[in-house]
Amino acid sequence: MGDIVFTGSVEQELKKIIEEYGPDSVFFLADRHTYCHCFSLFREINILQNHIILIEPGENHKSMESVEKIWKVLISKGARRNSVLINIGGGIVTDVGGFAASCFKRGIKCVNIPTTLLAQVDASVGGKTGINMGGLKNEVGTFSIPECVIIDTCFLKTLPVRQILSGFAEMIKHALLQGGPHFQDIFSLSPESLSERISLDLIKESVRVKENIVKSDPTEKGIRKALNFGHTVGHALESVAIEQGVEFYHGDAVAWGMVAELYLSVKKRGFDENLYQQIRTFIRTLYPFYSFPVTEEKLYGLMLHDKKNEKEGVNFTLLKAPGDYIIDNYCSREEILAALKSLV
């Protein structure tokens, strides 16, 4: 595992790390948004004295074109084996930059500085890098751990609430998988001014949940599937939203995905029904409901073709209780349609 540093002074940490590596040259990767909103937070490191590589923002640019652009700049500026690439941005920037670094000269050092809550609690751990191809998400990529990830809440102040909520859905997922005091901490947060209540300590705890699961299964052969909780239904909702051009964030989809999969957990694994109702209310208070027209049959069809389903049938991670999960639950068409109906 690479280091994950939680800090209130990202710039000091970055300086320390660069000094420690003593690289031939330093490259900064960002998209235009991060470049405008986040680079001004660095005052002492003269970023402009280093090489800056900018890619276009947005899922469309999580592409080979962006990766080749990075490689070409690295080559033209004479990057060597001990050069380092610093990725500053959301999950798209860290996924694209991580992939580029992992293949350049068969792997140069890279440091991720995630600037969204989603990237901090999710993409920062697990060493997945990737780009989209042929209309499919993360079709090409590597498992590659960055040398270091630096997490600082200062960046969260640059984000709109909807973006915070998108990351918070993954924190809810981690809390459900972990149970115990962390579960209590997350579900006792007041929905008002949520952004300010998400402390570095809460993020740290959330990251640790994922880290512990990934450590025991780095290449996703078994237990790591637990992290797919909420995502089987969630991905189907997200696909429809993208298809219809509706603004419905990843976290919104995962939040409602978790409600549906908790319903399945109640029916098939004896998850407490009262607790399910409380969680459902918590999510309904925070997240916009999906208002686009879609049939349960359509969503079911999308789940059946998700690449995570290796054989026939739809595979779910379900919960017996917070902190007590079971992977590889195959659910029937009828069970899934009932869970989707329960959302409405």
Which residues are known catalytic residues? 106, 128, 170, 210, 220, 224, 228, 231, 235, 250
Q: Using the rule CB under 8 A, is 128 a contact of its own copies?
A: yes
Q: Using the rule CB under 8 A, is 267 a contact of its own copies?
A: no
Closest to 108 in 3D by CA, of 116, 96, 100? 100
What DSSP state is assigned to residue 143?
Answer: B
Place of tokens 């941005």: 89
Enter the tokens of residue 39.
Answer: 């680079």
Place of tokens 């990725």: 87
Minimum distance from residue 141 beta carbon to its own copies (Å): 5
Among 140, 194, 304, 337, binds its own copies (CB under 8 A): 140
Q: Using the rule CB under 8 A, is 137 a contact of its own copies?
A: no
φ, ψ (nearest 5 deg) of residue 137: -75, 135
Among 23, 90, 97, 141, binds its own copies (CB under 8 A): 141
Cα 237 to Cα 119: distance, rounded to the nearest angstrom: 20
* Closer residue to its own copies in complex, CB, 70/150: 70
φ, ψ (nearest 5 deg) of residue 42: -95, 115
Among 71, 187, 276, 300, binds its own copies (CB under 8 A): 71
Minimum distance from residue 113 beta carbon to its own copies (Å): 23
Among 15, 33, 105, 268, binds its own copies (CB under 8 A): 105
Q: Using the rule CB under 8 A, is 107 a contact of its own copies?
A: yes
Among 72, 157, 284, 341, binds its own copies (CB under 8 A): 72
Cα 299 to Cα 301: distance, rounded to the nearest angstrom: 5
Q: Using the rule CB under 8 A, is 243 a contact of its own copies?
A: no
Q: Using the rule CB under 8 A, is 184 a contact of its own copies?
A: no
**What's the sign of the alpha-carbon dihedral 77, 83, 88, 93?**
positive
Q: Using the rule CB under 8 A, is 104 a contact of its own copies?
A: yes
Minimum distance from residue 213 beta carbon to its own copies (Å): 17
The region of 98-106, 168-176, 237-245, 247-255 touching its own copies under the rule CB under 8 A is: 98-106
Residues between 187 and 226 with contacts to its own copies, criterion CB under 8 A:
219
What DSSP state is assigned to residue 123?
Answer: I
Q: Using the rule CB under 8 A, is 22 a contact of its own copies?
A: no
**Distances from the Cα of 159 to the Cαs of 33, 34, 164, 169, 251, in angstroms?**
11, 11, 7, 15, 14
Listing DSSP states for 228-269 in one string gives GTTHHHHHHHHHHHHHHT----HHHHHHHHHHHHHHHHHHHH
Among 143, 289, 292, 330, binds its own copies (CB under 8 A): 143
Closest to 336 in 3D by CA, of 268, 252, 272, 278? 268
The region of 73-81, 224-232, 244-252, 276-284 touching its own copies under the rule CB under 8 A is: 73-81
Q: Using the rule CB under 8 A, is 307 a contact of its own copies?
A: yes
Contacting residues for 36 by C-beta, under 8 A, at least 6 apart: none
Cα 71 to Cα 143: distance, rounded to the nearest angstrom: 18
Minimum distance from residue 273 beta carbon to its own copies (Å): 36
Among 1, 36, 48, 64, binds its own copies (CB under 8 A): 64
Number of residues that bind its own copies (CB under 8 A): 30
Cα 303 to Cα 312: distance, rounded to the nearest angstrom: 11
Q: Where on the chain is the footprint of its own copies (CB under 8 A)?
A: 64, 68, 71-72, 75-76, 80-82, 99, 102-107, 128, 130, 133-134, 136, 138-143, 219, 307, 310
